[in-house]
């Protein structure tokens, strides 16, 4: 009888101890929350290029622009968007905005603009964004 009580006590003790252990990812599968975004950027005096592939990404990114020109050409493309939204803002040094756009679905756009002030920065605001986004800005000449 003592032996049964000892075994029962050990089993009960083990059950209590191991019940507090969690392994949320027992299969070794990467969950959406653990995937960092893939971001590439390229910046010179003539061009700025940005690309992101993200899953449930929420962050604000700000990049100083080196492009110096009085005529600017830009293009943007958002593809494979599954959730969330993002905002892209391109500002000039005088405080005016060359571009301000909210994106929540598949989009592509391109434009050419004359600017009276040098470029300052690009701000990208992501909110639970899952998808791809590409932005290119360069001297129009």
68: domain CATH number is 2.60.120
pLDDT single digits (tens) 57-75 = 999 999 999 998 999 999 9
Residue among 134, 141, 140, 138 nearest 40 (CA):
134
d(CA 127, CA 56): 8
Say how many C-beta atoms besides its own lie within 10 A of residue 90's C-beta: 26
In the block, residue with structure tokens 């992501």: 126
Distance CA 102, CA 13 (A): 56
- pLDDT, tens digit, 9 for 90 and up, residues 95-112: 999 999 999 999 999 999
**Are 34 and 24 in contact, with CB atoms under 8 Å apart?**
no
Instruction: Report the number of distinct structural domains present in the chain.
Output: 1
In a domain, 19, yes or no: no
pTM: 0.75
Is position 63 within any domain?
Answer: yes
Q: Does residue 20 lie in a domain region? A: no
CA distance 36 to 62: 18
| DSSP letter (8 states) at residue 141 | -
Q: Is 4 part of any domain?
A: no
Could you tell me the residue range of the domain that residue 54 belongs to? 29-139
């Amino acid at each position: 009888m003592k032996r049964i009580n000892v075994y029962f006590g050990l089993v009960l003790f083990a059950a209590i101890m191991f019940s507090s252990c969690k392994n949320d990812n027992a299969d070794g599968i990467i969950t959406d929350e653990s995937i960092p975004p893939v971001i590439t950027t390229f910046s010179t005096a003539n061009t700025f290029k940005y690309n992101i592939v993200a899953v449930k990404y929420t962050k604000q990114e700000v990049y100083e622009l080196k492009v110096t020109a009085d005529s600017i050409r830009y293009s943007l493309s958002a593809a494979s968007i599954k959730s969330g939204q993002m905002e892209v803002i391109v500002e000039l040094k005088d405080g005016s905005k060359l571009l301000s756009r909210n994106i929540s679905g598949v989009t592509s756009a391109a434009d050419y603009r004359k600017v009276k002030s040098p470029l300052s920065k690009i701000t990208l605001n992501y909110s639970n964004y899952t998808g791809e986004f590409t932005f290119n800005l360069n001297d129009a000449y």
